[in-house]
Amino acid sequence: MDTSMLRRFWMPLPAIAALLILPQWAHAQATLEKIKSRGQINVGYRSLAAPFSFHQAPGAPAGYSIEICKPVIERLRTAIGNKNLPVKYIETEVDARLRLISEGSVDLLCENVTDTPERRTRMAFSTPVFIDAIQVAVRSKDKISKLEQLHGKSIVSIGGSTAGPALDQYAKPHAVKWKIAKAVNPDAALGQLQLGWVAGYARDGALLAAQLAALPNASDYQILPERLSVETIAIGYRKGDEAMGTLVNAAIKESMKSGATQGSYEQWFLKPQKAGGKPLMAAMPAEMKTLFDTAKAD
């Protein structure tokens, strides 16, 4: 090999180390700069995640998480010095949202993102904004009233969600076995239950309640009372960006202390979403009351 060629590309070890570190540092610190240079804030959301995020009108997402992100957006505008900075809402899917956040295509994930140790290796999470649990929906005509009756049967979950792992973790200590099917989205999962291809459909309890409530024959389904896991829902942002984390958490905590977040919760969970409908929850769960009380006392 021509040694002159090696000399042309030779670099001392400290310089090589600096090059290896630099991209990671720049990536971690770049959110505000990226927004400023881009000229807009990119917000990720899911259209099939009511009441956290959904399409209330074409191009106009709405929901609990969308409301929580509004004061965050205002703080971002203030930090950048442009109160009219536009916001672009980008629809995401479960299997793509981690990539979109890590590569910088979206700045915030304002949907039903569960904070898990595995996901923390690729993204960061705000202070909790909702506490939920994985539950299972069944058809009323199948006469299933508790999880153990699903032993040996099939349960569908959405691929990439936390429902599949929750089913596995619950099964071992409770001596039950079931087959887990995967669907690409909530509509496909519900379709499998409606057709009787599976005996149960596992998803976050609040999301299941909202999805079933939208059906004209909602009474044909029920959600089993057992809670398979605790799901801590938060707002997602880029891993390693401390400045962004400080801004996001400050906005959320201020909104909780003022009572604005509790008002959003009551709007989306304790009030009917349509005329003649029923609220998703009859009363505020103890976990949510503790979350709001702690924020107000902090």
Q: What is the mean pLDDT of residues 149-168?
A: 95
DSSP H helix total and E strand total for the chain: 12, 13
pLDDT of residue 2: 43
| Residue 2 one-letter amino acid | D
Tokens 């409770």: give the residue.
174
pLDDT of residue 16: 40
The mean-pLDDT minimum among 20-34, 36-50, 278-292 falls in 20-34
Show the 3-state SS of 17-54: HHHHHHHHHHHHCCHHHHHHHHCCEEEEECCEECCCEE
Q: Which residue has the higher pLDDT, 28 or 227?
A: 227
pLDDT band for position 297 (cuts 50, 70, 90) = confident
pLDDT of residue 247: 96
All structural domains of the chain with their residue ranges? 13-130+233-297, 133-230
- Rounded Cα distance, 207 and 184, in Å: 16
pLDDT of residue 96: 86
User: Phi and psi dihedrals of 169, rounded to 5?
Assistant: -65, -35
| pLDDT (tens digit per residue) in 159-202 | 989 999 999 999 999 999 999 999 999 999 999 999 999 999 99
pLDDT band for position 29 (cuts 50, 70, 90) = very low
pTM for this predicted structure:
0.83
Position 87 pLDDT exceeds 80:
yes
As a whole-number percent, the residues of the chain with pLDDT over 90 amount to: 75
Q: What would the two tokens of residue 141 be? A: 């005509």
The mean-pLDDT minimum among 141-145, 218-222, 274-278 falls in 274-278
Q: What is the mean pLDDT of residues 18-26?
A: 39
Q: What is the mean pLDDT of residues 137-146?
A: 97
- Rounded Cα distance, 297 and 14, in Å: 49
pLDDT band for position 266 (cuts 50, 70, 90) = very high
- Rounded Cα distance, 6 and 195, in Å: 66
- Residues 133-230, CATH architecture: 3-Layer(aba) Sandwich (3.40)
Find the radius of gyration of the CA atoms of the chain: 22
- Range picked from 27-41, 171-185, 273-287 for highest mean pLDDT: 171-185
- Cα–chain-centroid distance for residue 297? 26
- What is the distance in angstroms between the CA of the first residue and the CA of the last residue of the chain? 66
As a whole-number percent, the residues of the chain with pLDDT over 70 amount to: 90
CB contact at 8 A, 231 and 132: yes
Q: Which residues contact 161 (CB under 8 A, 6 or more apart)?
A: 94, 203
Q: What is the mean pLDDT of residues 59-88?
A: 94
pLDDT of residue 15: 43
Where are the alpha helices (H) located in 128-280, listed in sequence order?
163-171, 186-195, 205-213, 242-258, 260-269
Are 13-130+233-297 and 133-230 equal in CATH topology? Answer: yes
Burial of 291 (0-12, 13-18, 19+ CB in 10 A): buried
Position 7 pLDDT exceeds 60:
no
pLDDT band for position 277 (cuts 50, 70, 90) = confident
pLDDT band for position 126 (cuts 50, 70, 90) = very high
Stated length of the chain = 298
- Rounded Cα distance, 14 and 20, in Å: 10
Q: Are strands 154-158 and 230-238 parallel, antiparallel or unpaired?
A: unpaired
User: Phi and psi dihedrals of 128, rounded to 5?
Assistant: -55, 140
CATH fit for domain 13-130+233-297, picks 3.90.1300.10, 3.40.190.10, 3.40.50.720, 3.40.718.10: 3.40.190.10
The mean-pLDDT minimum among 16-25, 100-109, 152-161, 172-181 falls in 16-25
